[in-house]
Amino acid sequence: MDPISDNDLSTRSHVVRQLIVVFTGLLMVVLIVGLGALYRIAGSLDQREMAQSRFHAESAMAQLQKNERSYVLTHAIWQSAFDHLGRGVDVQWAFDEDNVGPTLFTADGYVGVFVLDDDGSRYAMVDGQLSDASFAHYSPQADLILSQARQVAAKQQATSGYFQFGGQPALYTAAVIQPPSMPHHLPAPRAVLVFVRRLDTRLLEPLGRAAGLSGFAVADRMAADGAKGTLPLEGSGHTLTWHIERPGSELVSTVVPALTLAGVLIGLLMTLFARYAIRASTGMDRSHEQLAASKAALETSEERFRAVAEASSDWIWETDADLHLSYLSARFAELTGHKADAWLHRPITELLDCDTAQLENWLHGLAASHATGSLRCQYHDHLGQQRICRIAARASFDRGVCKGFRGTSSDITDEVAAHAQIQHLSLHDALTGLPNRNKLFRFLEQAGQGAVPQAIALILLDLDNFKPINDSLGHPAGDAVLIEVARRLGEITRDTDLVARLGGDEFIIVLSRPGQRVDMDRFCARVVESLQQPILAEGHSVQVGVSLGVALSAEYPGTPSDLIRYADIALYSAKSAGKHTWRYFSAQMNEALLEKRVLERELREGIGRDELVLHFQPRYKVDGTTVASVEALVRWQHPRQGLLRPDRFIALAEESDLIVQLGNWVIHDACAKAKAWPVAIMVSVNMSPAQFSRSDVVRDVAEALRQTGLPAHRLELEITENVMLNDVEGALQTMNALKELGVRLNMDDFGTGYSSLGYLRTYPFDSIKIDKRFVQSLGKSASDRSVVQAIINLGNAMGMTVTAEGVETAEQLALLSDDQCHEVQGFLLSKPVDNDALIRLMLTRQPSAEMPTD
Query: Strands, E, within 433-567: which ranges?
Result: 457-463, 498-503, 506-511, 535-537, 540-542, 546-552
Each as own residue / partner, the long-range contacts of residues 677-680 (CB below 8 Å, 24 or more positions apart, any chain) are: 677/838, 677/839, 677/842, 678/839, 678/842, 678/843, 678/847, 679/842, 679/847, 679/851, 679/853, 680/714, 680/853, 680/854
Q: Is 655 a binder of ligand C2E (CB under 6 A)?
A: no
Give least dist CB 765 to Ca ion, A.
13
> Minimum distance from CB of 430 to ligand C2E (Å)?
17
Q: Which of 68, 289, 721, 748 binds Ca ion (CB under 5 A)?
A: 748
Work out whether the CA dihedral 476, 482, 486, 488 comes out positive or negative. positive
Residue nearest to ligand C2E (CB): 826
Task: Tell me the CA distances in angstroms from 392 to 313, 347, 365, 371, 418, one per residue in order.
Answer: 14, 17, 13, 11, 22
Amino acid in position 601: R
| Site for ligand C2E contains 666 (CB under 6 A) | yes
CA diameter of the chain: 141
Alpha carbons 716 and 803: distance in angstroms, whole number: 13
**Which residues, 795 to 814, sit near ligand C2E by CB under 6 A?**
805-808
Question: Residue 584: what are its φ and ψ, rounded to 5°?
Answer: -100, 145
Residue 617 touching ligand C2E (CB under 6 A): yes
Tell me how far, at minimum, the Cβ of 549 lies from ligand C2E, in Å.
25
The only residue of 633, 671, 794, 802 in contact with ligand C2E, by rule CB under 6 A? 633
Residue 305 binding result from ligand C2E, Ca ion, none, given CB thresholds of 5 to 8 Å by partner type: none
- Residue 749 lies near Ca ion (rule: CB under 5 A): yes
* Inter-residue contact 171 to 160 (CB < 8 Å): yes
- Give the residue, chosen from 191, 650, 710, 794, that forms a contact with ligand C2E under the rule CB under 6 A: 650
Amino acid at 166: G
- Phi, psi of 646, deg, nearest 5: -60, -30
Handedness of CA 135, 138, 143, 148 (dihedral sign): negative
Count other Cβ atoms within 10 Å, centred on residue 246.
16
**Interacting span for ligand C2E (CB under 6 A) from 494-502, 672-680, 681-689, 701-709:** 681-689
Q: Which of 799, 635, 606, 803 is nearest to 716 (CA)?
A: 803
The item of ligand C2E, Ca ion, none sharing an interface with residue 647, based on CB under 5 to 8 Å by kind, is ligand C2E
Binder of ligand C2E out of 55, 305, 397, 827 (CB under 6 A)? 827
What pairs with residue 478 in β-bridges? none
Least distance (Å) from ligand C2E to the CB of residue 654? Answer: 8
Nearest to 414 by CA among 393, 386, 433, 392: 386
DSSP per-residue string spanning 715-782: EEEEEETTHHHH-HHHHHHHHHHHHHHT-EEEEEEETSSS-HHHHHHHS--SEEEE-HHHHHTTTT-H
Residues belonging to the chain: 854
Q: Which residues ranging from 762 to 781 are in contact with ligand C2E (CB under 6 A)?
A: 772
Give the x-and-dash track for 693-722 against Ca ion (CB under 5 A): -------------------------x----
Q: What does 826 bind: ligand C2E, Ca ion, none (CB cut-off 5 to 8 Å by kind)?
A: ligand C2E
Is position 236 an interface residue for Ca ion (rule: CB under 5 A)? no
Radius of gyration, alpha carbons of the chain: 42
Asked if 198 contacts 215 with a C-beta cutoff of 8 angstroms, the reply is no
Nearer to ligand C2E, 141 or 637 (CB): 637
Candidate list 832, 835, 850, 851; residue touching ligand C2E; CB under 6 A: 832
Cβ–Cβ under 8 Å, residues 766 and 745: yes
748 in contact with ligand C2E (CB under 6 A):
yes
Minimal distance, residue 664 CB to ligand C2E, in Å: 10
Distance between start and end Cα atoms, the chain? 65
Residue whose CB is less far from Ca ion, 664 or 720: 720
Q: What's the closest the beta carbon of residue 468 comes to ligand C2E, in angstroms?
A: 24
Number of residues that bind ligand C2E (CB under 6 A): 23
User: Strand 627-638 and strand 642-644: pairing?
Assistant: antiparallel
Query: What minimum distance in Å lies between the beta carbon of 82 and Ca ion?
Result: 45
Q: Does 823 bind Ca ion (CB under 5 A)?
A: no
Report the candidate in 666, 658, 660 with the shortest Cα–Cα distance to residue 616.
Answer: 666
Neighbouring residues of 810: CB distance < 8 A, sequence distance ≥ 6: 828
Instruction: Pick the piece of the chain touching Ca ion (CB under 5 A) from 24-32, 241-249, 679-687, 701-709.
Output: 679-687
Residue 339 interface partner, choices Ca ion, ligand C2E, none, CB cut-off 5-8 Å depending on type: none
> Counting contacts by CB under 6 A, is residue 160 touching ligand C2E?
no
Q: CB 656 → ligand C2E: shortest distance, Å?
A: 14
Alpha carbon of residue 516 to chain centroid: 57
Rank residues 407 and 751 by Cβ distance to ligand C2E and give the closer one. Answer: 751
Residue type, 773: R
- Residue in 583, 435, 601, 454 with CA at minimum distance from that of residue 514: 454
| Least separation in angstroms between CB 689 and Ca ion | 13
Residue 537 vs 717, nearer CB to Ca ion: 717
Cα–Cα distance measured from residue 819 to residue 618, given in angstroms and rounded to the nearest whole number: 21
Stretch that binds ligand C2E, among 341-349, 492-500, 686-694, 780-788 (CB under 6 A): 686-694
User: Measured from the CB atom, is 271 or 835 closer to ligand C2E?
Assistant: 835
User: In whole angstroms, what is the distance from residue 260 CA to residue 64 CA?
Assistant: 49
Which residue in 645, 699, 761, 840 binds ligand C2E (CB under 6 A)? 645
Find the part of the chain contacting ligand C2E (CB under 6 A) among 52-60, 441-449, 618-626, 682-690: 682-690
- Binding residues for Ca ion, how many (CB under 5 A)? 4
Out of 241, 573, 688, 803, name the contact with ligand C2E by CB under 6 A.
Answer: 688
Sketch the per residue contact string, 152 through 191, with Ca ion: x for CB under 5 A, - otherwise: ----------------------------------------
Nearer Cβ to ligand C2E (279/648): 648
Binders of ligand C2E among residues 709 to 728 (CB under 6 A) are 718
CB of 458 to ligand C2E, least distance (A): 24
Considering the complex, state which of residue 520 and residue 778 has its C-beta at the smaller distance from ligand C2E.
778
Q: Which is nearer to Ca ion, 395 or 687 (CB)?
A: 687
Q: How far is the CB of 812 from ligand C2E (least distance, A)?
A: 9
Residue 752 interacts with ligand C2E (CB under 6 A)? no
User: Exposed, middle or buried by CB within 10 Å (0-12, 13-18, 19+), for 580?
Assistant: middle
Q: What helix, strand, coil percent values describe the chain, rounded to 5?
A: 50, 25, 25
> Which listed residue (271, 336, 493, 686) binds ligand C2E by CB under 6 A?
686
C-alpha distances in Å from residue 168, one per residue of 107, 163, 235, 563: 21, 8, 11, 94
What is the contact surface with Ca ion in residues (CB under 5 A)? Answer: 686, 718, 748-749
User: What residues line the site for ligand C2E (CB under 6 A)?
Assistant: 617, 633-634, 645-647, 650, 663, 666, 686-688, 718, 748-749, 772, 805-808, 826-827, 832
